[in-house]
Structure formats: C-alpha cells, structure tokens
Structure 1
Amino acid sequence: MSESASWTRVHDGCFELDLLTASYRRHAFTRHSHATFAIGVVVRGEEQFHYRGELRRAGVGSLAILEPEEPHDGMAAAAEGWTYRVLYPSEAMLLEHRPVRPSFPEPVVYDAHAVHLLQTAHEELTAGVDPLAAHSKLAWAFEAIVARHGRGPVGAPPLKASDAAATRKVAEIRDRLMADLRCAPSLRELAAGVELSPYHMLRVFRDATGFPPHTWLVLERVCRARHLLAAGLTPAEVGSAVGFADQAHLTRWFKRVTGVTPAAFRNSVQDPVRRPA
C-alpha cells in the first residue's frame, strides 16, 4: 500500500469542516492535539496511538473519537499500515444546541451503525455531488455518535411528528423544497427556517413523511420528470430542468423509482401501444 493523503474543506452555511482521506505505512504522527474533535473510521489495516496515558488500537470498522486539545500521536500497528477517513468538526458543530458538552470516555468504539453513517457522509461530502444529502447524513452521524457514546447531558427531546407545531414545520419545509427543484436549500437553511437544529428537523420531517428531506426532494424531482418526459422533453432536457446533476443522475434515480429508464418511459408514453377495442 502506497502512502497518500488528501484534504477537503466543506461549508454548510454556518460551519466549515475539514476532512482527511489517507493511507499510511511508515509515517508516524508526532505528539500533537487539535482545536476541534477528530473523528475517524479505519477502512483498512490498523492504527495505534497514545491517548490519555494508554496505547489505543483502532482497526477496520472502529470509530475513533478524540476530543479537542487532547495530546495524541499516531502510527501503524502492523507492517501493512492503515487507511482511514477523518472528520474534524468543531465543538459547536458536533454538539449543536446542547447546553453542556458531553464527554467521550472511550476513544475507540465498535459501532457498525455509526461507522456506516460517518463513512458514507465523509465519502459524499468529499465527492461533493449532493450537498443536502451529504450534510443530512452527517447530522445523523453526529447525533448517533453523541447519543451512543457521549456521557452527560444530551439536551431536550425533539418535537414529535404528531404535534401541531411539527405539522406546520413539515409543511413549511415541503414548500421550501418545492419552491425551486433545481436549487436545493442547504440543510442549515431548511433547519433555520423552521427554528430547529438540523438533526431535529431531519427527524421531524422523516417521522412525518417517511423520508429525509433530500430523499423526498429526489422523489419529487422524479415525479416532475415523468410529466416533462410525457410532454415530449428529452432526458437531457429534463435532468437539468428538475435539478439532477446530469442525465446519468436522473437515469439512476428514475429507474430506481419507476423500473425503467427515462428514455424508455418517454418512448412508451409518446408512442403507446394501441389496444383492440
């Protein structure tokens, strides 16, 4: 395995977040600390590091949670080295709207659910294809990490989808998403518009509709695409008209929902098979 490392910085309208994707064999980090949290998943090999007076090991499928200003180093635990993805959220970003910061007594945990959420969010944020979907998954990941592994106050419970206030907020979110299918608002813009934290907004919307906002929006785009294709527009024209990144993006989602490609759908409705009377 060759050594490589790349950094990505993303913005969500309020916070900026650095992401590291790296593979190391011989490199050893000197003892240092971060002003932010460092939260990572090992996807290959095994890393070891000294943290709070102990030598810790993080292997494939593990979640490492290092708190701000905590000294640590880092090196391979075996000759093959390790590959990992790391996010560096500020305290305000990770613990948004919590009155007291919880602690994380275990720096290495094995939690398949949280690892999957974090790794998926990291991959999609790095790719930069669908910011609303990626930041939504990041909010779910951070909430899972804090709820499952943090110790201390966790804040007030979110609204329930059955509450009248929640119903109004869900309607407002739908209206905002439908206002322009081509330009999705950011996760924080949606949340700020209904005065909820991003995680609570996601939970209320999902409980009410069965989908997180980014999936609901994609399904609405597919629905609109069907009407435009039936009206005679080409798949290339439809993709950009309803907000898909490109025709391939439209095709993937359209087939998932309808079972056929946009071209096949257009052909079938433009030239329907005549049935005998």
Structure 2
Amino acid sequence: MNEESAHYWQHPALPGVDLLRAHYVRHSFGKHTHDGYVLASITAGVEAFHYRGGLEVAPAGSVALVEPDRVHTGHAGVPDGWSYQVLYPSSAQLASVAAELGAAPGSPGFGTAVVHDDELTRLVQQTHRAAEQNQVLAASTFLRLALARAVRQHSSQRLIRSAAGGVLGAATAARDLLVARLEEPPTLEELADAVGARPFPLLRAFRETYGLPPHAWLTQQRVRTARAMLDTGASPADVAVAVGFVDQAHLTRHFRRIMGVPPGAYRRVRKNVQETIGRSPAG
C-alpha cells in the first residue's frame, strides 16, 4: 500500500487529546517537539525516528513513547512505510494519572522509547476505535487505562504509594446513572465525579460489583433494553437510536455478539411467537 493517508482529529470525550491515524511511505517528519506526550501504536510496517541521541526503530506491534519537549524525527524504516494510531495526551493528563497511581511528583519519563507491550497496544487502538464509534464512556476509559499502563509498566518513576481506596456505594450509584443516561452516557471522569469517586477506584469497585467495567456493562444494558423494545415490535433502526448506539449496524454487532442472532432475526422470531400465542384457543 503506497498511497499515504492521515486523519488528525479530536473527540469531545477526550478533551485535550489529539488523535492521529495515518499511513506514511515517503513522508518524513523533520526535527520537532510536542507540548505533551506521544503514544504511537505501530499497526503495520516500521517507523524509525531519531530521539535522545540515537535512532529508534518501531516495528508493527510496538508502541513508541515520546516525552514532551524532546526533539525527534520520523520516517519510514522499510520501503512500504508504516501505519500507526497515535494518542497525544497533555502533560497534565499523564501527570494526573501518575499521581493517582502513586508516582513520585513530577512529569513521568519513559526509560525506553519503543516498547513491546501487547496490552498497551490494544488499549491505544481501543481508544481510537471507541472514539471513532462515538462511545464516550469506552473511549475515556480506554484512554485512562492506556495512560495508566504506560506509567505502571514503562515509566522511569517509582510508585511511592498505593492508589487504592474505598468507594462505598459508588458502583451502585454509577450503575444507576448509566441507566438514566443510556443514550448519552458520561465519560469515565464525569461518572466518577458524579458519584464522588476517583476513576481508578470506581473502575475496580464497579468491576468487583458487576463483573464488568462500566463501558462494557453499559453495552450489555443497551442490548438488554433493545431486546425489550424489539419485543414490543419496534424496528431495529429506531431501537438503535433509542438506546444510544451510533446506528443500526452498531446495534447489530453488539446484539449478535451477546444474543447470538441479529436484532432483525430476533424481532421476527419474537413476533411469530407472540402471534402464535395470540391465536391459541383459551384453555
């Protein structure tokens, strides 16, 4: 694939974070810096970049970590170029996550510029995917988990205290809020603020109470609500909008994953069952 492409954007659920999805072959970045951090998941090919006095090589499956105000470049490491998905969080955002995890004061630094971390790769890509699908709770959750993973596993700073803390009743309150805001759920940060908790303790408490993180529980609740609406004869297109999915295709993907059949087929079966019951003679 020799055709270059780039999509640089922001999402309201990720304030202060730039996102880039791109494929470069001939393009090269001259010496430059960023105000914030760079987390770049290489999805194909190889990127090479000069950084901290040496040449770094980032192959597919790796994540490049660049600190604020560090001069670096960027160019193809193989003839076919490279593709990547990039997060550009601000210095304040990463410092906030680090502080919540118990890191020593100051901006986190990374001892290694290119890391091979399947979990971090997955989280960066999930952040992109959720933002592209306008899943605000999932996008904000995956972003925070990606930053936390980077700090925990790759920061050169030592964690000096535990970030654990009790969240009495917060999980239940968060669940009730998600039910009430099924169509327009809050971000993880907004959800935590609303129930008087911090994001990571809330994530732990919610998972322990309901077996899933809030964004995954929200998807299941949406499918559960969609099922009840389909039982009344509502169309899949109307149901998708009513429960907060982006479109019918988005509903279909999650409905089939959880229920085993697409919503249209489910609705037809339920309609046939109800009609059969309606025609049954009284006993």
Which band: TM-score by shorter chain?
Answer: 0.7 to 0.9
Query: Residue 28 of structure 1 aligns with which residue?
Result: 28
- State the 1:242 CA deviation: 2.0
Query: Residue 124 of structure 2 aligns with which residue?
Result: 118
Query: Residue 239 of structure 1 aligns with which residue?
Result: 240
Q: What does 1:105-254 correspond to in 2, within 5 Å?
A: 105-125=111-131, 127-154=132-159, 156-159=161-164, 165-254=166-255
Question: 2: distance between equivalents of 1:46 and 1:239?
Answer: 39
Question: 2: distance between equivalents of 1:220 and 1:153?
Answer: 39
Residues 81 and 255 from structure 1, CA distance in 2 versus in 1: closer, same or farther, beyond 3 angstroms?
A: closer
Question: 1: distance between equivalents of 2:5 and 2:269?
Answer: 49
Query: Residue 257 of structure 1 aligns with which residue?
Result: 258
Residues 180 and 76 from structure 1, CA distance in 2 versus in 1: closer, same or farther, beyond 3 angstroms?
A: closer
Question: 2: distance between equivalents of 1:168 and 1:3?
Answer: 50
Q: What does 1:53-68 correspond to in 2, within 5 Å?
A: 53-68=53-68
Question: 2: distance between equivalents of 1:82 and 1:270?
Answer: 50
SS in 2 for 1:182: coil
**Structure 1: gaps (5+ residues):** none
Question: 2: distance between equivalents of 1:131 and 1:159?
Answer: 25
Instruction: Give CA-to-partner distance per residue, 1:167-191, whole Å, 9 cap, x none.
Output: 4000110111011322212222102
**How large is the RMSD of aligned CA atoms in angstroms?**
2.3
Question: 2: distance between equivalents of 1:172 and 1:155?
Answer: 31
Question: 1: distance between equivalents of 2:265 and 2:25?
Answer: 49
- State the 1:268 CA deviation: 2.8
Question: 1: distance between equivalents of 2:112 and 2:49?
Answer: 13
Question: 1: distance between equivalents of 2:12 and 2:242?
Answer: 26
Q: Are residues 1:18 and 2:13 paired? A: no
Alignment counterpart, residue 104 of structure 1, candidates 93, 110, 122: 110
Question: 2: distance between equivalents of 1:109 and 1:240?
Answer: 40
Contact 2:137 2:187 (8 Å CA) reproduced = yes
Question: 2: distance between equivalents of 1:59 and 1:102?
Answer: 24
Contact 1:143 1:199 (8 Å CA) reproduced = no
Question: 1: distance between equivalents of 2:42 and 2:33?
Answer: 19
Question: 1: distance between equivalents of 2:145 and 2:261?
Answer: 31
- State the 1:87 CA deviation: 1.4
Question: 1: distance between equivalents of 2:269 and 2:29?
Answer: 60
Contact 1:182 1:244 (8 Å CA) reproduced = yes
- State the 1:158 CA deviation: 4.1
Q: How many residues are paired up?
A: 271
% identity of equivalent residues: 39
* TM-score of the pair, normalised by structure 2: 0.86
Contact 1:12 1:188 (8 Å CA) reproduced = no
Instruction: Give CA-to-partner distance per residue, 1:186-225, whole Å, 9 cap, x none.
Output: 2221021234343433233123211111111121122222
Q: Are residues 1:81 and 2:81 paired? A: yes
* TM-score of the pair, normalised by structure 1: 0.88
- State the 1:59 CA deviation: 0.9
- State the 1:152 CA deviation: 1.6
Question: 1: distance between equivalents of 2:74 and 2:185?
Answer: 39
Moved more, 73-82 or 173-182: 73-82
Question: 2: distance between equivalents of 1:245 and 1:60?
Answer: 30
Contact 1:254 1:260 (8 Å CA) reproduced = yes
